Structure 1
Amino acid sequence: MTTFHRPRDIPQILLSVLFLTLIIVACLWIVQPFILGFAWASTIVIATWPVLIRLQRILFGKRALAVLVMTLLLFLLFVIPIALLVNSLVDGSLPLVHAITSGELTPPDLPWLNSIPLIGAKLYGAWHGLLDMGGAAIMTKVKPYIGTTTTWFVGQAAHIGRFMLHCGLMLLFSALLYWQGEKVAWGVRYFATRLAAKRGDAAVLLAGQAIRAVALGVVVTALVQAVLGGIGLAISGVPYATLLTVVMIFSCLVQLGPLIVLVPSIIWLYWSGDTTWGTVLLVWSCVVGTMDNFIRPVLIRMGADLPMILIISGVIGGLIAFGMIGLFIGPVLLAVTWRLFDTWMREVPPPSDNPEEVLEELEAIEPDRDNQPK
Structure 2
Amino acid sequence: MDYPRQLIDLPRMLFGVAFIALMSLACFWVVQPFILGFAWASMVVIATWPLLIRLQNLFWGRRSLAVLAMTILLLLLFVLPVSFLVSSLIDNSAPLLAWATQPNRLTLPTLHWLHDIPLVGHKLYSGWQAMISGGGSLLMSKVQPYIGQSATWLLAQVAQVGSFLIHCGLMILFSVLLYIRGERVGLAVRHFAIRLGAERGDASVLLAAQAIRAVALGVVLTAIVQAVLGGIGLAVAGIPFATILTIVMFILCIAQLGPLLVLIPAMIWLYWSGETTWGTLLLIWSCVVATLDNFLRPVFIRMGADLPILLVLCGVIGGLLAFGMIGLFIGPVVLAVSYRLCFAWVHEAPEPGEIHDPGKHLRDIP
1:144-182 Cα distance to aligned partner (Å, 9 max, x none): x88877666555555555443333222221111111001
| CA contact 2:316–2:329 (8 Å) conserved in 1 | yes
Partner of 1:59: 59
Match of 1:118 in 2: 126
Deviation at 1:88, TM superposition (A): 0.9
Specify the code of the residue in structure 1 equivalent to 2:255.
V
Matches within 5 A, 1:160-171: 162-171=163-172
Partner of 2:36: 36
Change (3 A) 1:126 1:4: farther
Match of 1:277 in 2: 278
Secondary structure of 2:20 counterpart? helix
Q: What TM-score do you get using the length of structure 1 for normalisation?
A: 0.83
Residue 234 of structure 2 contacts residue 282 of structure 2 at CA under 8 Å; is this kept in 1? yes
- 5 Å-filtered alignment, 1:305-324, equals 305-324=306-325
Identify the residue that residue 9 of structure 2 maps to in structure 1: 9
CA distance in 2, matches of 1:338, 1:167: 27
| Cα drift, residue 236 of structure 1 | 0.6
Query: 1:95–1:122: structure 2 CA closer, same or farther, 3 Å change rule?
Result: same
State the partner residue of 1:296: 297
8 Å CA contact 2:208–2:337 kept in 1: the answer is: yes
- Give the SS at the match of 1:306: coil
Shift of 1:301: 1.2
Query: Structure 1 residues 84 and 340, CA, compared in 2 at 3 Å: closer, same or farther?
Result: closer
Classify 1:313/1:292 alpha carbon distance in 2 versus 1 (closer, same or farther; 3 Å): same
Give the alignment of 1:177-216 within 5 angstroms. Answer: 177-216=178-217
In the alignment, does 2:89 pair up with 1:81?
A: no
Amino acid at match of 2:279: G
Q: In 2, distance between residues paired with 1:162 and 1:39?
A: 16
> Take 1:343 and 1:128, find their aligned partners in 2: how far apart are those partners?
62
Amino acid at match of 1:71: T
Kindly report the root-mean-square deviation, in angstroms, between the aligned alpha carbons of the 2 structures: 3.1
- Which runs of 5 or more residues in structure 2 are unaligned? 115-123
Distance of 1:192 and 1:112 partners within structure 2: 69
Letter in 2 for 1:332: V
Instruction: Work out the CA distance in 2 between the residues paired with 1:178 and 1:230.
Output: 32
**Secondary structure of the equivalent of 1:348?**
coil
**CA shift digits 1:105-132 (9 cap, x unpaired):** 5552223578662321222123356389
- In the alignment, the residues of structure 2 paired with residue 232 and residue 215 of structure 1 have an alpha-carbon distance, to the nearest angstrom, of 25
- Other-structure match for 2:326: 325
Answer yes or no: is the 8 Å Cα contact 1:47–1:215 preserved in 2.
Answer: yes
Matched, 1:172 2:173: yes
Q: CA separation in 2, counterparts of 1:96 and 1:271?
A: 20
- Say how many residue pairs are matched: 356
Contact 2:217 2:300 in 1 (8 A): yes
The answer to whether the 8 Å contact 2:212/2:337 transfers is no
What is the rounded CA distance, in whole Å, between the counterparts of 1:360 and 1:127 in structure 2? 71
Q: What SS is found at the alignment partner of 1:245?
A: helix
Which amino acid counterpart does residue 14 of structure 2 have in structure 1? L
Q: Tell me if the contact between 1:52 and 1:67 (Cα under 8 Å) persists in the aligned partners.
A: yes
Give, in whole Å, the separation in 1 of the partners of 2:152 and 2:298: 43
Tell me which structure has the larger Cα radius of gyration: 1
Change (3 A) 1:327 1:197: farther
CA distance in 2, matches of 1:192, 1:73: 31
Q: Letter of the aligned partner of 2:205 in structure 1?
A: V
Cα offset, 1:319, TM superposition:
2.4
Q: Aligned partners of 1:121, 1:54: CA distance in 2, in Å?
A: 63
- Whether the 8 Å CA contact 1:113–1:124 is kept in 2: the answer is no
Partner of 1:267: 268
Report the TM-score, using the length of structure 2 for normalisation.
0.85
Q: Is the 8 Å Cα contact of residues 113 and 123 (structure 1) preserved in structure 2? A: no
Percent of paired sites with the same residue? 57
Whole-angstrom distance in 2 between the partners of 1:32 and 1:156 = 23
Q: Does the Cα contact within 8 Å between 1:226 and 1:249 map onto a contact in 2? A: yes
- 2:249 & 2:32 partners in 1: Cα distance? 31
Unaligned ranges ≥5, structure 1: 370-374
Distance 1:112 1:206, change over 3 A: farther
Task: Please say which of residues 192-201 and 107-116 is displaced more in the overlay.
Answer: 107-116
CA distance in 2: counterparts of 1:341 and 1:159, whole angstroms: 34
For residues 321 and 148 of structure 1, the distance between their equivalents in structure 2, rounded to whole angstroms, comes to 26
Corresponding residue SS for 2:125: coil
Matching residue's letter, 2:76: L
Q: Distance in 1 between matches of 2:160 and 2:319?
A: 22
Shifted more, 51-60 versus 151-160: the winner is 151-160
Residue 280 of structure 2 corresponds to residue 246 of structure 1: no
Range that drifts further, 291-300 or 116-125: 116-125
Q: 2:73 and 2:261 mapped to 1: Cα distance? A: 30
Alpha-carbon distance between aligned partners in 1 of 2:283 and 2:147, rounded to the nearest angstrom = 34
Aligned mates of 1:253, 1:234 — CA distance in 2 = 21
Range with greater deviation from structure 2 (66-75 or 240-249) = 240-249
Q: Tell me the distance in 2 between the aligned counterparts of 1:325 and 1:163.
A: 6
| Structure 1 counterpart of 2:202, one-letter code | D
